[in-house]
A and B are shown apart, each in its own frame.
Chain A
Amino acid sequence: MIVSAKLASLKHIKPHEFAVRFLFGGLCTMIAGLIASHYGPRIGGLFLAFPAIFPASASLIEQHEIAHKRQAGYDGRMRGRVVAGIDATGAALACVGLMAFAAIVWRALPRHGAVAVISAATFAWLLLSIALWLLRKSRLLRHKTHPAFEN
């Protein structure tokens, strides 16, 4: 199995870590709306692709890895950074999907219903992101260029 989903992994997340993400996400969405109202849609639109919770998420991933490795008696800081870096690589791939999302909304919204356009754009984001991830995974498996590819 290439990809797996584990509900059990949610047990390790502390309530304040969810709260941090909710707070950052809410604030960024609110600020994006305020910027669009004050400076217009061209400036406001940029913030629809702002890395809202990226720093908080990367930091939490690093902290989880460090804690995990320390339980086994290791320092874990280097491993924490590498895992956060791997997560960032995934985000970079999904940004191509994010561009497709924006392009579909831009071109289709003036002519079609909002729900249909946003649904189609979200599906395109998901499909393109997974396709790019699979492509990268297959290339890494073929060349084995980085020891972290197993993650």
Chain B
Amino acid sequence: MEELIRFLIGGAVVSAFAVLSEMFRPKSFAGLFGAAPSIALATLGLTVARSGHGFAAIEAQSMIFGAVAFCLYASLCSQVLMRRKLSALATTVLLLPVWFGAAFGLLFLLSRHAA
């Protein structure tokens, strides 16, 4: 049941930001909504209610690494799309390992350093 609630709230929040992104011009401004904290907004409230403030705070700490990885990933996507003849879907899917590599790399590197 909780998974279904997460699915519905997540879908609604992500769709709301997608609508905002479609409404605004110029495109570079609309792109800001592509990195909105949509998943975090949809899930943090439920996490606090179920697992407490401490659990959610640790999630938010890791989210910083995810956001750094997203920044790297989006910048690379932008460069490839403007310079190479690769479709948007191919570019964004093929570069997803960059997000995984950077996010998990930062997490393990900095967690080990802090320990």
Interface set of A (CB-CB < 8 Å, partner B): 2-7, 9-10, 13, 18, 21-30, 32-34, 36, 41-55, 57-59, 61-62, 77-78, 80-99, 101-103, 105-107, 109-110, 114-115, 118, 121-122, 125, 129-130, 133, 136-137, 148, 150-151
Distance from B8 Cβ to chain A, minimum over Cβ atoms (Å): 7
Are A81 and B81 neighbours in the complex by a CB distance under 8 Å?
Answer: yes
Secondary structure call for the B interface: helix
B89 proximity list for chain A (CB < 8 A): 55, 58-59, 62
Offer 11 A-B interface pairs, CB within 8 angstroms, sorted by A.
A5-B23, A30-B7, A42-B59, A49-B40, A49-B63, A86-B26, A98-B36, A98-B71, A114-B56, A125-B36, A129-B32
Bound state CA distance, A46 and B11, in angstroms?
Answer: 19
B33 / chain A contacts, CB cutoff of 8 Å: 90, 94
Q: Interface readout for B4-29 with A: 1 if CB under 8 Å, 0 if not?
A: 00111111111100110111111111
Inter-chain CA distance A42–B57, complex, in Å, is 10
B67-104 CB mask vs A (1 if < 8 Å, else 0) is 11111011101111110011111011100100100011
Query: Which residues of B are in contact with A by a Cβ distance under 8 Å?
Result: 2-3, 6-15, 18-19, 21-48, 51, 53-71, 73-75, 77-82, 85-89, 91-93, 96, 99, 103-104, 107, 111
Partner of B57, one of A92, A96, A105: A105
> Cβ of A114 and Cβ of B53 under 8 Å apart?
yes
B70 with A48: CB separation less than 8 A? no
B6 near A29 (CB under 8 angstroms)? yes
Are the CB atoms of A114 and B78 closer together than 8 Å?
A: no
Closest-CB distance, A23 to chain B (whole angstroms)? 7
Taken together as a complex, chains A and B put the C-alpha atoms of A97 and B40 apart, in Å, by 13
Whether B96 pairs with A51 at a CB distance below 8 angstroms is: yes
Report B102 CB to chain A, min CB distance, Å.
10
Q: How far is the CA of A44 from the CA of B57 in the complex (A)?
A: 12
Q: Which residue of A is nearest B18, CB measured?
A: A21
Q: Known: A21-B18, A48-B40. Is A30-B6 also a contact (CB below 8 A)? A: yes
Which of A4, A24, A46, A130 is B66 in contact with, Cβ under 8 Å?
A46
Given A13-B22, A102-B63, decide whether A48 and B27 contact each other with a Cβ distance below 8 A: no
B77 near A45 with CB under 8 A, answer no
Residue B62 contacts which of A3, A34, A41, A85 (CB distance < 8 angstroms)? A41
